[in-house]
Amino acid sequence: MPPTLASLVHHSALKLAVLAGEDRLDTPVRWAHVSELADPVPWMDGGELLLITAMKIDAEDRQEMRRYVRRLVRAGVVGLGFAVGVNYEQVPAALVEAAEAEGLPLLEVPRRTPFLAISKAVSAAIAADQYRAVTAGFEAQRELTRAAVGAEGPAALLARLAVHLDGWAALYDASGAVVAAAPDWAARRAARLGRDVERLRERPAPATAVLGSDPAEEGADRVELQSLGSGRRARGVLAVGTAAPLGTAERYAVQSAIALLTLTTERSRALQDAEQRLGAAVLRMLLAGEPDHARAVAGDLYGGLLDAPFRVLVAEAVTEPPAAEEATEPSGEAAPPPADPLGLLADAVETAAGRVAEAVLTVPDGERLIVLAPDGGAAVAACAEHARGIEARRGTKSRPRDRSAAAPPCDLVVGLSAPAGPIAAAAAYRQAEQALSVARRRGRVLVEHEEVAAGSVLPLLADDAVRAFADGLLRALYEHDATGRGDLVASLRAWLSRHGQWDAAAADLGVHRHTLRYRMRRVEEILGRSLDDPDVRMELWLALKTTSGQQQ
């Protein structure tokens, strides 16, 4: 620990006596400084032991001493050493009273003790403290290195780091999930920092954040977050919690842990890059209709993925910024778009698959990300969860009820195919692209092909151009009905829904079939189109479905 006033008082060679402030002798001393100025404050940094002989001050003037001592305390001076036998044979009572009043430790320095001896003692103690810190830091580095290369890897490293810090440590993966913590109870503490870790991961690496403790919280601590990785995107985050700010030795230990964990993540990333190149080759063969060659290249790494139904996922990043009224989080704070939406999605998918030893193939393709993942597996579930998280933050879980409103933009759009096998990989890729197109048009983050194929074709046509066509086609009928001269729109809908069957449609409307025939003739006259034309009937039916509920 650094030198304190108490350690100087107990230094047998200095012979210092305490005249005031005995209860504050445990205060650390940053330096010993000699100054005979009447106002040395402008040259003080705080934490000094000031040494004087009172050559330029009247140490017997009570008012002057009160002002002098008060200035020193406000400047952060931690102690005052007064040399006796030079200008004063003993420390003046006025100075003693002022020091006691302000709580400033006052030390009597005997004539035979030069100020230089005190400065050397402080300097030697500071140097010794720094040496101990550096030595402890090197020892921590050796222990952490041994732990990192051991069988337990990062878990053992975190355990040793927590001991060195007398606190706790936790490691988050690229998706922001806690993968290891020490001691065991720290996992619960680390889990509460999810939002802070997410904000740090969205910043370019390396990045740091210090979270102040809440004094009202039981076991409050000070937390530091440090991103891991040498690239632009963080590969993980290290969190450490301590009761007080880190000292020099603790800082050495944390920096060593960061270096070792970064090396581990970068080595893992190099292996993932090699696997990714192999995966790209497998994907090209599947899309080219060469499943046998794809199996041969996949080997043990991706072979299991091709032995069961899989899904093809195609994702794109959207560069358009969200509208001002939508670019906020539920709390009202600004929600900046993630720096790399495709990278974050890839991390979420790969991390989820890794936890259950599930084979997954992720291939960046220009502005796209293509993923092959087992149907019903962890990777597909992680993709859906990631999409729900984006929609929840953006407030776009569904399209606005007013279909005339523009769909809100998203930072990411994803299309997911139906389950397929290696022979149908190309078809699955086309399905994913179709679902991606629908997601982009609807302002959705994720759309599955089953949702498109099993549902109606009408949602696919619900864009501005189709609505404008429908409004124009039916406007004359709505205007006619608005005058109270008939109910042509409802009659047309009933007749089309009954496939032109007069009796059934008339029964639905509660009118005579001749009345319905008259109304259909009026429809033809107003629109200038023949209902005998199947194309006309199709266009009218789609127009009615598109405008349903808007003009009623």
Give the whole-angstrom CA distance, residue 508 versus residue 60. Answer: 112
* pLDDT number for residue 210: 87
Q: How confident is the model at residue 107 (pLDDT cuts 50, 70, 90)?
A: very high
Q: How confident is the model at residue 202 (pLDDT cuts 50, 70, 90)?
A: confident
Q: Over 80: is that where the pLDDT of 381 sits?
A: yes
Assign domain 290-319+340-394+409-454 to its CATH architecture.
2-Layer Sandwich (3.30)
Give the whole-angstrom CA distance, residue 40 versus residue 80. Answer: 12
* pLDDT number for residue 164: 84
pLDDT higher at 311 or 2:
311
Structure tokens given for 41: 């404050």
3-class DSSP assignment, residue 403: coil
Task: Mark residue 534 as left, alpha or beta (left: phi above 0; alpha: psi -120 to 50; beta: remaining).
Answer: alpha
Q: What is the C-alpha R_g of the chain?
A: 38
> Among 192-201, 239-248, 404-413, where is mean pLDDT lowest?
404-413
Mean pLDDT of 402-408: 42
Range list of β-strands (E), 337-488: 361-365, 368-374, 412-416, 446-448
* pLDDT number for residue 150: 67
Q: Over 70: is that where the pLDDT of 351 sits?
A: yes
Structure tokens given for 289: 């209709």
Assign domain 464-548 to its CATH architecture.
Orthogonal Bundle (1.10)
Percent residues over pLDDT 70 in the chain? 83
* pLDDT number for residue 108: 93
pLDDT higher at 325 or 526:
526
* pLDDT number for residue 325: 42
Give the whole-angstrom CA distance, residue 165 versus residue 241. Answer: 8
| Cα 192 versus chain centre, distance | 13
String of DSSP letters for 280-335: HHHHHHHHTT-HHHHHHHHHHHHGGGGGS-EEEEEEEE--SPPPTTTSB-TTSSB-
- Other C-beta atoms closer than 10 Å to the C-beta of 357 total 8
CATH 3.40.1390.20 corresponds to the domain 5-113: yes
Task: Mark residue 318 as left, alpha or beta (left: phi above 0; alpha: psi -120 to 50; beta: remaining).
Answer: beta
Question: Could you report the per-residue pLDDT of 129-182, keeping only the tens digit for each?
Answer: 877 777 776 777 777 777 766 666 788 888 888 888 889 999 988 777 888 899
> Among 243-247, 281-285, 455-459, 540-544, where is mean pLDDT lowest?
455-459
* pLDDT number for residue 338: 47
String of DSSP letters for 109-158: E-TTS-HHHHHHHHHHHHHHHHHHHHHHHHHHHHHHHHHHTSTTTHHHHH
Instruction: For Cα atoms 10, 14, 20, give the angle at the middle one, nearest 5 degrees.
Output: 65
Q: Over 60: is that where the pLDDT of 426 sits?
A: yes
Question: Could you report the per-residue pLDDT of 431-440, keeping only the tens digit for each?
Answer: 999 889 888 8
Average pLDDT value over all residues in the chain: 81
* pLDDT number for residue 367: 84
Task: Mark residue 407 as left, alpha or beta (left: phi above 0; alpha: psi -120 to 50; beta: remaining).
Answer: beta
Percent residues over pLDDT 90 in the chain? 24
pLDDT higher at 464 or 72:
72
pTM of the complete model: 0.44
**290-319+340-394+409-454 matches 5-113 in CATH topology:** no
**Pair 202, 175: CB distance under 8 Å:** no
* pLDDT number for residue 453: 57
Mean pLDDT of 390-412: 56
**Pair 368, 314: CB distance under 8 Å:** yes
Domain ranges of the chain: 5-113, 140-268, 290-319+340-394+409-454, 464-548
Structure tokens given for 94: 């006025």
Mean pLDDT of 26-40: 90
pLDDT higher at 298 or 409:
298
* Sequence-ordered list of residues with C-beta below 8 angstroms from that of 326, at least 6 positions apart, any chain: 394, 395, 396, 408
Mean pLDDT of 340-345: 82
* pLDDT number for residue 504: 86
In single-letter form, the type of residue at position 250 comes to: E
Q: Over 80: is that where the pLDDT of 50 sits?
A: yes
* pLDDT number for residue 137: 67
Class of CATH domain 140-268 = alpha beta
Mean pLDDT of 507-521: 90
* pLDDT number for residue 517: 92
Q: How confident is the model at residue 197 (pLDDT cuts 50, 70, 90)?
A: confident
Q: Which residue has the tokens 């420390």?
A: 91
In single-letter form, the type of residue at position 80 comes to: L
Q: How confident is the model at residue 469 (pLDDT cuts 50, 70, 90)?
A: confident
> Among 332-346, 418-432, 445-459, where is mean pLDDT lowest?
332-346
Q: Over 80: is that where the pLDDT of 482 sits?
A: yes
Q: Over 60: is that where the pLDDT of 298 sits?
A: yes
Q: Which of 53, 20, 60, 48 is nearest to 37 (CA)?
A: 53
